[in-house]
Amino acid sequence: MERSWLFVPGDSERKMTKAAASGADVLILDLEDSVAAENTATARGLVREYLQSRPDREAQKLWVRINPLTTPMALDDLAGVMSGGPDGILLPKPETAADVVTLGHYLDAFEAASGLERGTTRIMPVATETALGMFHLGAYRGLTPRLSGLTWGAEDLAAALGAGTNRGADGAYSHTYEMARSLCLLGAVAAGVAAIDTITGDFRDKDLIERETQDGRRLGFRGKIAIHPDQVEIINRAFNPTEAELAHARRIVAAFAAAGTGTVGLDGQMLDMPHLKQAQNLLAAAK
Ligand code: COA
Ligand code: MG
């Protein structure tokens, strides 16, 4: 399961070391926005060495966020880290869905150059960070088997739009960013991949991340990005189905099996195929 995705600045050996023990299902070693431009070259070397020092990825996957394909840094990032065999590449600021195809071709070449098995490096775009990218959220289906998820971000989109803020007076995301979140979810499901929810920036507020994680899970997100180790445990717990949920799902499956019909009554509620499917999904995800 890939519930928690912890961002770790790629120029910080200390944080990379700490992150290994965070319990995060995935680390995203960052070469983009959390690294100052003058440290990028150093960060590439540190990230490559870190990847090479951790060949066993059973308990924790190691991804790398590169710079956008619209910058010359993207290829230099890949050249710097691919020999470490990252499990996946997080692609920021895509302009179109076809960016994942371009990245896939780059990965074909770098995998060959590094003796890695062809096609094994996965891709997840941060698909809502440019205005044009927003119009491509329904276009990710079938482009490359490397695609393993879609995620979204509200900060860079606001910057791209020249917006002073991405929130309304009540502190909640404005419509544009709620739309980005929904379209990310819909686009991921349409493409048959996992939707991964964005960061909660206020890392001291445990109640806030708990609420935002639960909210995302109810909507259909399969995981969430963290920026601080303290957020990881909360995310992991929130995405684990509770015993009560599992027991309820088993009762629904059993009720349909016993009835042999397309619709059944359980606890005074009408259940039909979507309920059975939800129950089966929950039980399958828990395996
Ligand atoms: N990964 C690994 N370790 C982290 C971490 C992270 N994302 N964030 C914090 N830590 C470590 C710190 O180094 C510190 O360890 P130390 O005391 O041994 O040095 C410990 O956890 C507690 O950190 P804390 O003091 O609470 O926070 P901070 O002020 O050091 O760091 C941030 C705050 C926001 C700078 C830091 O959490 C961070 O770098 N987050 C990731 C940012 C990022 O990647 N952004 C890009 C995507 S939006
Ligand atoms: Mg950014």
CATH of domain 4-239: 3.20.20.60
**How far, CA to CA in Å, does 244 sit from each of 150, 185, 190, 247, 250?**
29, 26, 29, 5, 10
pLDDT of residue 265: 95
Atom 21, ligand 1: residue with shortest CA distance: 229
Q: Which residues surround ligand 2, an ion (CB under 5 A)?
A: 33, 156
pLDDT of 44 above 90: yes
pLDDT of 285 above 90: no
The model's pLDDT over 188-205, given as tens digits with 9 standing for 90+, comes to 999 999 999 999 999 999
pTM of the full structure: 0.94
The model's pLDDT over 61-106, given as tens digits with 9 standing for 90+, comes to 999 999 999 999 999 999 999 999 999 999 999 999 999 999 999 9
- Please state whether 93 falls in left (phi above 0), alpha (psi between -120 and 50) or beta: left
**Nearest ligand by distance to the CA of 27:** 1
Q: Which residue reads 């010359």 in tokens?
A: 72
The model's pLDDT over 143-191, given as tens digits with 9 standing for 90+, comes to 999 999 999 999 999 999 999 999 999 999 999 999 999 999 999 999 9
- Interatomic CA distance for residues 136 and 170, integer angstroms: 29
Q: Which atom of ligand 1 is nearest to the CA of 226?
A: 7
Give the mean pLDDT of the chain. Answer: 97
- Interatomic CA distance for residues 55 and 40, integer angstroms: 23
- Interatomic CA distance for residues 199 and 225, integer angstroms: 5
- Interatomic CA distance for residues 23 and 18, integer angstroms: 10
Give the pLDDT band (50/70/90) at residue 255.
very high
CB atoms closer than 10 angstroms to residue 94: 26
CB atoms closer than 10 angstroms to residue 37: 8
Domain ranges for the chain, please list them. Answer: 4-239, 243-286
- The SS3 call for residue 274 is helix
pLDDT of 286 above 90: no
Cβ–ligand 1 distance for 34 under 6 Å, the answer yes
| 179 Cα to the center of ligand 1, angstroms | 29
pLDDT of residue 233: 98
